[in-house]
Amino acid sequence: MDPFDSFLKDYSGVIPDFQEYLEDLRRPMPLYFRINTLKTSMAMVKNLLARDGIISEDTCIPELLLIKKQDPSRQLLAYYLGLIYPQALSSCLPVLALSPGRTDRVLDLCAAPGGKSTHMAQLMRDMGLVVANDRKLGRLTALMANIKRLGITNTIVTQARGEHYTSNIQFDKVLVDAPCSGIGRYRIDPAGRIRHMRCGKTDLPAIQKALILRAFDLLRHCGVMVYSTCTLNVEENEGVLHYLLQKRDAEITHWEPPVTWSPGIDKFRKQEYDSRVRLARRFYPHKVRSVGFFLARIIKR
């Protein structure tokens, strides 16, 4: 069976308003710009974009604009000046859930290309400390370029496999935006082909479980961690949370997102997960007008 057909069969009873979801996959993904408030204001950027013929509107996230009309061939001065960062609405949610403060020591375990790391630095007003890590040297180039372009100074970059990350300090906050199958990014093109489908035999849940355990162990007592993915796959989401709850004294906490969400799933196929995974948050593309996402806010007890 085709991987997408298999996905449809398994999730038709899981995703709310499933027919609406399928119809949404045929629409272009909405474009958003996060405004870099370290350098500028929302009003200034909106005026600058308007002069370039770009129509935008506010969203439920104060620093994020929905782009309604843009010439895709036009190079934007605001981008090169580091005033904006193209970022999906749902991609901002893990950082909002983590809520890093100005005195926090924060680790972004899988950071490249830097959307969430730079968003954290922005909310911290470029104070405290952000450690942005990624395992692949090639991905660090984009990460460092974005940090420099946005004018951020509170962030250092490290290269290591997240599963084996070592540190002499414990962190107040840790973000694990784990590598995943990316089902939340799926689109169907006019020819009926699935865009953004990842192929391969990598055991993603095994990698994700190793990452979440290591991240948890790097937290200080009562520290906060967010685990997130851009997939709708239960084994990569609730299955990973279940594993953490069995292995560590962790607690998933309530978080109220600013967009429509669904609870985590504690029963899938023939598998039953710890009921606490229902405190996780699922974001479906047709409900949030953005990439499908999953996140859980976790405290180290």
Length of the chain: 301
Evaluated on CA atoms 67, 72, 74, 76, the torsion sign reads positive
CA atoms within 13 A on the CB side of 28: 6
8 Å CB contact between 188 and 197:
no
Cα 216 to the center of its chain, rounded Å: 18
Tokens representing 168 are 């002499």
The span from the first CA to the last CA of the chain, in angstroms, equals 44
Residue among 92, 110, 180, 230 flagged as catalytic: 230
3-class DSSP assignment, residue 165 = coil
230 is catalytic: yes
Strand boundaries in 42-135, DSSP class E: 55-58, 64-69, 84-86, 105-108, 129-134
Residues 6 or more apart from 158 whose CB is under 8 A from it? 131, 132, 133, 165
The residues assigned a catalytic role are 230
